[in-house]
Copies of this chain bind each other. A is one copy, B any other.
Amino acid sequence: MENKIPYKIYLEESELPKSWYNVRADMKTKPAPLLNPATGKPMTLDELSVVFCKELAKQELDNDTAYIAIPEEILDFYKMYRPAPLVRAYFLEKALGTPAKIYYKFEGNNTSGSHKLNSAIAQAYYAKKQGLKGVTTETGAGQWGTALSMACAYFDLDCKVYMVKVSYEQKPFRREVMRTYGAAVTPSPSDTTKVGREILEKFPGTTGSLGCAISEAVEAAVSHEGYRYVLGSVLSQVLLHQSIIGLETMAACDKYDIKPDVIIGCAGGGSNLGGLISPFMGRKLRGEADYKFIAVEPASCPSLTRGKYAYDFCDTGMVCPLAKMYTLGSGFIPSPNHAGGLRYHGMSSVLSELYDEGLIEARSVEQTSVFEAAQYFARVEGTLPAPESSHAIRAAIDEAIKCKETGEEKTILFGLTGTGYFDMVAYQKFNDGVMNDYIPTDDEIAKSLANLPKL
C-alpha cells in the first residue's frame, strides 16, 4: 500500500494549535444562558464562581471571544500525549469495499484512554492558579475521573471523584488507575452527602447515574473550603477546551487537502462531538464551507432524538443551575444494561441550540449493533474501541456502506474518542452473546419529562 496520505497524520509540535476556538462566537443565536434555579435569572459570574473556578466561570459565560489563548503550562502538558493522530482508515475502507474515504481522529493514546484529558488539564490548571486545595467531580465510565486524577497529580491538587455505582462495580480497574494517580473514589449515590442519602432513600438499590453523581460532587465542593466542582462534559467551557480535537483535525485536513463531507461523533454530554466539530461548524456558520454533522447517541438514552428542548436541571439532585438543552428529564436513569458512558439525560446547550437550528443531525443506535461495529473495527483497524466511541464507528460504517451502494466517494470523518481496555466486562457480555438492547418506552420518557422545572 503506497499512499500519498500516510496511514497516520501526526502534526509537528510547531503546528499544534495555540488557542482554543469558541464556536459560540460565530453562532447567530447564542446558547440559552444558565439560570439560577432560585431566581429564574441568568447566573452571574459571582454566582457561578461559588461552584466553578473563576476563570472557568468566565469561559462559561463568554459567548463572544472566538479564540482564547491556551496557557503555556497546558500547552506543555498537551505535548505529553498530543498531537493525536488523524488516521486514514485504509484497512476499514478495504474491508468494507467502499469508495468512501474514511478518517478518524484518535484520542485514545493516553492513560485516561480518551479525549477527556484535554479539558481535565485545563480545569486543574485554573484550579491551581486560583490557589485551591482540590476539586470534586463525578465520573461515569471512569474516563473523565481518570483524566482528572492524572491532571490533579500533575498540578499536585487533591481530587475527589464520585463514580456512578454501576461503573464503579463493572470497572474496578478504573478505580485503581485513579488511586494510582492519588484520587479518592466514592461510588455514587453514597452516604457521604446529603443529596446522596436522599437519593438512596428514594431509590434504594439504584445503580446510579451521572445526574446523581454530579449532585454529590457539587455538594462536596461547596461544603469543603478551598474546593471547586469540575465537570467533564455538557458545559460550554468543556466544549471550548475540547476544540483542540477539531483544531488539530482541521490543521491536518488542510495540510493534506482532505475535505470531509460528513463529520460524525458520539454524543453523551457533547464534549467530544462539540470539540471535534467546533471549528468545522465555525466555517459552516461563516459560510466558508459546508459539512453534514451527525451526532450518534445510544437508543437507551436518546436525549437529542427523543428528548425535549427545554430548561432542565443538570443533575438529579437539582442543586445545579438550570440549562436549556435537549433533555430526557433530570430524573431519567438509563438502563444499567447499557455499557457505554453516554448515559447523561441532557446535552450540551451549545449542541442543543445547533441541533435545534438544524445544523446537526442526530441518530440513535442500539447496543448490540454498536458492539458488532466495535469488534469489526478492532479486528480490521487494530484498535479495540471504547463502547462510547463505537457509536460513532457504527454510524461511520453505515455511511460508508451507503456510499458503496450509491457509488459516492464521500469523505467521512469520525471521532474515535477512546479505547475500550477498561470495558471488557461489556465486551465479555458481547462475546458470550448475552448483551441486551434496551430502549425506553414513550411512557417512561414522558413520565420523566413531566418533572421538568416550571419557569
Contacts and interface: CB of A to CB of B under 8 A. Distances in A.
Interface string A418-443: 01011011011011000000000000
A57 B75 CA distance: 50
Nearest to A1: B76
Given A111-B383, A182-B379, 6 more contacts: A111-B419, A150-B382, A179-B428, A180-B427, A180-B431, A421-B421
Contact of A80 (B91, B375, B424): B91
Interface stretch (A2-10, A35-43, A124-132, A282-290): A2-10
A44 B383 CA distance: 39
A180 B110 contact: no
B154 A379 contact: yes
A181 interface: yes
B177 A384 contact: yes
Nearest to A112: B382
B80 A153 contact: no
A431 B176 CA distance: 8
Given A110-B383, A176-B424, A419-B111, A79 B8 contact: yes
Contact of A428 (B79, B110, B176, B181): B176
Nearest to A424: B173
Contact of A431 (B79, B153, B179): B179
B427 A176 contact: yes
Q: How large is the interface on A (under 10, 10 to 19, 20 to 34, 35 or more residues)?
A: 35 or more
A254 interface: no
Interface string A94-117: 000000000000000111010000
Nearest to A179: B431
29 contacts: A1-B76, A1-B79, A6-B12, A7-B13, A10-B10, A80-B381, A80-B382, A81-B382, A109-B109, A110-B382, A111-B378, A111-B419, A111-B421, A113-B421, A154-B379, A172-B424, A172-B428, A173-B173, A173-B424, A176-B428, A177-B421, A179-B427, A180-B384, A180-B427, A180-B430, A180-B431, A181-B378, A181-B379, A421-B422
Interface of A: 1, 6-8, 10, 12-13, 76-77, 79-81, 91, 109-111, 113, 150, 153-154, 172-173, 176-177, 179-182, 375, 378-379, 381-384, 419, 421-422, 424-425, 427-428, 430-431
Contacts of A180: 375, 378, 384, 427, 430-431
A381 B179 CA distance: 16
Nearest to A106: B109
Nearest to A432: B179
Nearest to A421: B421
A7 B79 contact: yes
A424 B382 CA distance: 23
Contacts of A419: 111
A160 B165 CA distance: 36
Among A12, A80, A375, the most chain B Cβ lie within 10 Å of the Cβ of: A80
Contacts of A111: 378, 382-384, 419, 421
A416 to B, nearest CB: 12
Contacts of A428: 172, 176, 179
A6 B13 contact: yes
Nearest 3 A-B pairs (CB), nearest first? A173-B424, A7-B79, A176-B424
A44 B379 CA distance: 36
Contacts of A430: 180
Contacts of A77: 382
A154 B150 CA distance: 34
Contacts of A7: 13, 79-80
Among A12, A109, A180, A421, the most chain B Cβ lie within 10 Å of the Cβ of: A180
Nearest to A12: B6
A432 to B, nearest CB: 9
Nearest to A80: B382
A153 B379 contact: yes
A421 B174 CA distance: 9
A420 to B, nearest CB: 9
Contact of A177 (B113, B173, B427): B427
A13 B4 CA distance: 10
Nearest to A426: B176
A81 to B, nearest CB: 6
